Amino acid sequence: MSDLREVLGIRHPILLGAFGGMSSVALTAGVSEAGGLGAYGLYGYDGSRIRDTAAALREATDGPFALNIWLPTGDEVEPGPQHTVFAQALEPFYEAVGVEIPHRPERYLPTLDEQLDAIWDAAPAALSVVYGVPSAEVIEEAHRRGIRVIGTATTVAEAVALEQGGVDVVVASGAEAAGHRVSFLRDAAESLVGTFALVPQVVDAVGIPVVAAGGIADRRGVAAALALGAAGVQVGTAFLATRESAANDAHRAAIRTTAADESVLTRAMSGRLARGARNRAVRAIEASGTIAPFPMQNWLTGRFRAAAGEQNLGELQSLWLGQAAPLARLDSADEVFAELIVGL
DSSP labels for 83-144? Answer: HHHHHHHTHHHHHHHT-PPPPPPS-SS--HHHHHHHHHHH--SEEEEESS---HHHHHHHHH
At 285 the pLDDT is 98
How many angstroms separate the CA atoms of 151 and 158, rounded? 9
pLDDT surpasses 80 at 1: no
pLDDT band per the 50, 70, 90 thresholds, residue 21? confident
Minimal CA–CA distance to 131: which of 154, 147, 163? 154
| Predicted confidence (pLDDT) at residue 12 exceeds the cutoff of 80 | yes
Q: What is the CB neighbour count within 10 angstroms for residue 179?
A: 25
pLDDT at 198 (0 to 100): 98
Q: Is residue 275 within 8 Å of residue 320, measured between CB atoms? A: yes
pLDDT digits (tens, 9 = 90+) for 115-126: 999 999 999 999
Cβ atoms 74, 135 nearer than 8 A:
no
DSSP for 3-44, written as a single string: -HHHHHT-SSSEEEPP-TTT--HHHHHHHHHTTSBEEEE-TT
Every domain of the chain and the residues it spans: 4-75+110-257+325-340
Task: State residue 141's pLDDT score.
Answer: 98
| Chain segment 241-294, per-residue pLDDT in tens | 999 999 999 999 999 999 999 999 999 999 999 999 999 999 999 999 999 999
Question: Is residue 146 within 8 Å of residue 116, measured between CB atoms?
Answer: no
The CATH class of 4-75+110-257+325-340 is alpha beta
Q: What is the pLDDT of residues 63-115, one digit of tens each?
A: 999 999 999 999 999 999 999 999 999 999 999 999 999 999 999 999 999 99
Report residue 184's pLDDT band, with 50, 70 and 90 as the boundaries: very high
Residues in a beta bridge with 39: 66
Q: What is the pLDDT of residue 20?
A: 86
Closest CA to 341 of 179, 168, 221: 221
Kindly report the pTM of this predicted structure. Answer: 0.97
